[in-house]
Each structure stands twice: as structure tokens, then as C-alpha cells.
Amino acid sequence: MTNWDDFRLVLALARTGAIRQAGAALGVNHATVSRRLADLTRRMGGAVFERISGRYQVTAVGAPVLEAAIRMEAACLEGERRLRAVSPDMAGPVTVSLPDAIARVVLLEELTAFAQANPDISLTLKCSYAYADLDRSDADIVIRGASAPDEHLVGRRLFPYALAHYCARDYFDQVALPDRRWLVRRTPAQWIERSPCPEAPVGYVIDDIDMLHEAAARGQGMIRGACYIAESDERLIRIPGSKVEPWEDLWVLTHPDLRDAPRIKAVMGLVTEALMRSRALIERGETDRCRG
């Protein structure tokens, strides 16, 4: 085998387990995947994949090809990272993966000012709570709450972000005790037993963090939410009796191959300093605003 497309095919099919999904990953249609797989099977002298319970799984014939493909992909990704890191000046792309709320509440103004002051840096923000794989170059820098990030990544652990219980300002006055409800990201939610309103049932589930806070702010129920989000919203109050609980540590991380690139160091320094300035809000939920 000398065709890189063969290795890409094996990787895609092994990861997706389906012809159509592999085609989508490769940017081709399912007929092309089927044709290439048939040609590869002929050249290998045996089945590279077999269908088990409706899913394509690599065979003993295909296993060495898959192993080689994984190594080749890793080498290509490493080469791409090293090429991105060689720029000696403050120029080039920087992609930051971070939670939407962190960007909106804490970092937006600082990152906007940085982009304006450094026009040669192409700054991209990927606002998502999903994990960005730095090994696969999904991003150059990640800002995440995590208990134990991948050990090979480099950066800085800052401090834990805090959680507490919140509701709309007039929720308690307008909603009788038997009618109060919790809004949660997932069930079961054992933390309700330790909350200020342990007798209140779950109203419904909202898996998006920002929508969860928005629903509470509109008076649709009570939540356990991130202090830095809720305390920045004048529509919300901390529920009487709620205790601030430290949660996961915030990390600012990059890949070792990128750590010495000037533009990467500059952005990491910027976001770290901005987060440290907001430590009281993020870690303890402390603000100057009065609560109703």
C-alpha cells in the first residue's frame, strides 16, 4: 500500500463503523467508499473489514493497516503543529476553545482589544463546552474546567469555579412552595437533596448551560449554576441558604509543540491574567451588586 487515501479510508471506517459516516468524514459519497473498500480488499487478498451487529470492524488482515494509519496520522498532525509553531514573531493563526459563558462574561473585551492591537494574528474563538482535542489541532489553546486534563498538555491550573443555587428575583414571591421546581442539566440530580429546597421536584432537563441560566432568569424554575454566570445576571438571585461549592479547576492549556510560539504565549498570558482578575467572581461568586 502506497496510497495515503487507503489509510484514510481505513481510519474513517474504523472510527465511524459505517459506510455513509466514513464517506462524510472523507468528503465523498458512500458509493465511493464502497468502491475503494472493495478495491482495497482485492489488493490485500482478504477482507479488511467485516460487519458485526451492523457495524464495520477491522479484521486481522486490516489491523496492521489501521495501526500504520494511526501512526501516519499522528506524524502528520505533529508536523502540522510544528509548522504552526515556527513563526518567530506575533503573526499567524491562534484558535482558542473555551466555554461560551467564559468568553461572554470574562474574556470578550480583552480578546477584542488583543485582536485589534495585533492585526497580524488571526484569532478564532471556538465557543463550546465540548472537549477540543489539541493533539488533532481542534484548537491551539483550551480554557476548560477539568479535574484531570491530559498529562502531556502544558499550561496552568488556575482555581476552581464555584456553583450555587439561583432563581429569578421574584420567583419565591410569585411561586408557592408546592409549585417550585428545579431545572437540571441531567438526571438524577443528587445535589437537590443538599440544596435549600430539597423537597422541590425536577421540572425538566436543559442540557445547555447558558439556556439553563436563561430559563431560571425568566422565572421558569430554580437551578444550580455557575456563580460567574448567575452573579453577572441582574435577573437572578442566589437562593437563601445556598452555599457556594467549589467545582472543577479552570485550566489554560496548549500542546507542547506550540508552547514557545510567541503568539500562543501572548494569548495564553492574556487570558490567564484576565481570568485571575475575575477570580473572586469565578471562585467565590463575589460581586458588588446587591441581592434582592
Global pTM?
Answer: 0.73
Cell of 178: 408546592
pLDDT (tens digit, 9 = 90+) per residue, 16-35?
Answer: 999 999 999 999 998 999 99
pLDDT (tens digit, 9 = 90+) per residue, 153-205?
Answer: 999 999 999 999 999 999 999 999 999 999 999 999 999 999 999 999 999 99
Range 74-98 average pLDDT: 78
Buried b (16+ CB within 10 A) or exposed e, 164-195: bbbbbeebbeebeeeebebbbeeeeeeebeeb
* CA within 13 Å, CB half, 271: 35
Structural domains in the chain plus CATH codes: 4-84 (1.10.10.10), 89-292 (3.40.190.290)
3-state secondary structure of 76: helix
51 contacts: CB under 8 Å, gap ≥ 6: 57
Which residue is it, cell 449554576?
Answer: 225
Q: Provide the strand spans (E) within the chain.
A: 49-52, 55-58, 92-98, 121-127, 141-146, 154-168, 182-184, 202-205, 223-226, 236-238, 245-254
Q: How confident is the model at residue 249 (pLDDT cuts 50, 70, 90)?
A: very high
Cell of 259: 508552547
